[in-house]
Amino acid sequence: MSLERKWKDQLYQEFARIGKCLSSPKRLELIDLLAQGPKSVDQLAKITGMSVANVSQHLQTLHESKLVRFNKKGNYVIYEIAELSVADFMVSLHRLSEKQLVEIQRLKTEILQHHASMEPIALEELIERMEKGEVLLLDVRPEDEYVMGHIPGAISIPIEELEKKLASLPVNMEIVAYCRGPYCLMSAQAVEILKSKGIKASRLEEGVHEWTRYVEHSNISSQGDALV
């Protein structure tokens, strides 16, 4: 075996480590959640419906592949993605999968039909209307995720607090809700709550990372709050 062949075999073997690590749907979900901000094992178990033991095992596998890192805060172990390129990779994976896999397209259509009241708004239109002061952008993720990074100009009202805080929203302005990205339905739930109260509302499919990519590729100057 030539030295070049040996080098290539070793190189692709290392690439395969990442592929094997990402072969679990639960680990993919954990990465998506950690891309929104650091979380404890207990938090991840609650969100995903997995046991703490299963979450810990999946996180250990992700850590061995250098996709996540952790630190200790008191009695808690807090995990986060190793670097922002991991979140970028997940955005690319989502887009490629949706483009290539018919089943994902079918599931997305089914979800949209189930939430028939959702009216998606395109990023380009959102930016234009926000600049004109025509819409209010609402981040319905947990507050800690908002603090870690959000779309400039967005206000934070977690989905579980929305009904109690409806009075704080302007009645003469359309509300655009967003959450963790295209496959998160908290924003859909928010739109349904707002519309049930007579408030004009629509949903932004994209989340913070999709917004960041759009801004970078469009050479748009992001003013105000930091994204991440």
The CATH number of whichever domain residue 200 belongs to comes to 3.40.250.10
Digit-coded pLDDT (tens) for 46-60: 999 999 999 999 999
Q: What is the average pLDDT across 207-221?
A: 82
Range name among 69-83, 111-125, 188-202 with the lowest pLDDT average? 111-125
Decide: 206 and 214 in contact? Cβ < 8 Å: yes
The verdict on whether 21 is a catalytic residue reads no
- pLDDT over 80 at 21, yes or no: yes
Q: Is residue 55 part of a domain?
A: yes
Q: What residue spans of the chain are helical by DSSP H?
A: 3-21, 25-34, 41-48, 52-64, 84-100, 102-114, 123-131, 143-148, 186-196, 208-218
Q: Which of 159, 179, 184, 208 is catalytic?
A: 179
- Tallying the residues shown for the chain, one arrives at 228
Regarding whether 120 and 19 lie in a shared domain, the answer is no
Regarding whether 213 and 113 lie in a shared domain, the answer is yes
Angle at 68 between CA 65 and CA 71, to 5 degrees: 125
Nearest partner of 88 among 220, 187, 203, 214, judged by Cα = 214
Regarding whether 45 and 121 lie in a shared domain, the answer is no
Pairwise CA distance, residues 100 & 24, whole Å = 19
Provide the pLDDT confidence category of residue 108 given band limits of 50, 70 and 90.
confident
Digit-coded pLDDT (tens) for 1-13: 888 999 999 999 9
Regarding whether 70 and 135 lie in a shared domain, the answer is no
Prediction pTM value:
0.84
Decide: 54 and 176 in contact? Cβ < 8 Å: no
